[in-house]
Structure 1
Amino acid sequence: MQMQGTLLWCMCALSWLSAPCWGGSCHEAKLCCPGRDSSCVVQNAPLNAVVEDLNDKPCYCDHACLKLGDCCTDFKDACGVVDCQVTAWGAWSSCDSSCGPGSMSRSRRVSRGPQHGGRRCPGLLQRRACQGGDCPLHTDTAAREIAMLLPASLSESRKVNQTEDIRNNLRLRNPEDPEMTPQKEYCVEFEILKASKACRKETSYKALQEGERVCVRCESEALRKSLDWRCQGHGVMSRSTRFSALSAPHCHGKWLRITPDDDDDYPMGGSNSTNSESCAVKSCSKNGPQFIFV
């Protein structure tokens, strides 16, 4: 028995130049190396010996072992490695939108920073979506209507082959009403909140993409007397409404009206305008209407 102990001591002494022969402890081996150092190793079994017990595998006392996962069990304590410590999450803030989609957040703080290569601090701020519910109650039926759209390029087709027969009555809902006048026509600008993928596939409706702004014209042919001489689905301020493409039924989505209601009173063209295809509404006058209400 004494002979075996002596032999083991000799083998450890012979292997000293390549690796120390203490147990898996950085403290006992008095090792603590910055960066990556393959010689900063604690080896239980003799060099080149067959390791039968996983506890006899070599472990390291260099800071790279934190990433490689082969540190000795007491490496952090022996080398003064301190991981970042943070407080518990605080309470969630209130929604930053009183009406409609918004976000809320919560935070935490660092109670002790990392030292000597310890684990870095995690994120200190979290956000999540919320929906503000304090919305004004809209009694306007426009808030529940779906706007049916056609490309503005089809506007001219309404005026082709105008006659005095019944076909003219089909184009105009109220052809004989004295209140039916082109001066009631107006334009509305919308911001697209959501649009189906089918809109991108239709050349005439590619403008209906999330985040884009579009201008829609309400022509006299689409004015409805039952709606107090306005177009169906012309939207309301501060509330999303729906739209659908008449010639591409799979193209639909939600939008938000940008033009204030007061701007509806501006007729197409204006008193001094020579271009009857333009809208006098400031938000639509730049590029002209892209769509028309049906």
Structure 2
Amino acid sequence: MRTLWMTLCALSRLWPGAQAGCAEAGRCCPGRDPACFARGWRLDRVYGTCFCDQACRLTGDCCFDYDRACPARPCFVGEWSPWSGCADQCKPTTRVRRRSVQQEPQNGGAPCPPLEERAGCLEYSTPQGQDCGHTYVPAFITTSAFNKERTRQATSPHWSTHTEDAGYCMEFKTESLTPHCALENRPLTRWMQYLREGYTVCVDCQPPAMNSVSLHCSGDGLDSDGNQTLHWQAIGNPRCQGTWKKVRRVDQCSCPAVHSFIFI
């Protein structure tokens, strides 16, 4: 390449315009554009018609100055917006956050990453502050990572300062699950892939999922015996669901992170 540049510089002194290329023509085009050409030296050391479109890298007919005149610029995106509230109150649904494109990719630069993320959620009170009074039978679960973001807002005046951090952990052995869990590959629902038949999982019961009167989480199976089949459903994908059986109740969960969940 160094020899090529020295040759071009020498020719430019003997032949005015010999180094004409993308910069002089003022052209940089996306994709394959036959009209996006100039006259000058090509990177394959042939003088004549050369191209300034993005596809010239594949066809090998770029003008000698394409990389300098048309540098690849990756997509840049802004920061994530705050998470929205649940789409609906008092039933399993989703929340969303978005970000916008600050700079579109140019000249073969890296494409834009996803601009929207969705995750499952469940509200425990209406916008007016009334308790939803959940009576769901299945256990609705999500990743334990959600517990770091969840604001523990009291859904009832029965919650007091010393009981707000009350909670317990239920261990279950999974019996069955739908194939939709393994197919889930979205960033905030990828945790469903780790649900497996025959594995022991931990599910944490904490406010506000814990009922302020019964001090139970809906679907926790606390009063069932170990032979009773219980149902669960993943928040964020209603088709990811299955059955499990209670193993025991413990004060704190001790399962690996990928097998740790929370009632929601």
Superposition TM-score tier, normalisation by shorter sequence: 0.3 to 0.5
> Could you state the TM-score of these two structures normalised by the residue count of structure 2?
0.41
Higher helix share: 1
If the length of structure 1 is used for normalisation, what is the TM-score? Answer: 0.37
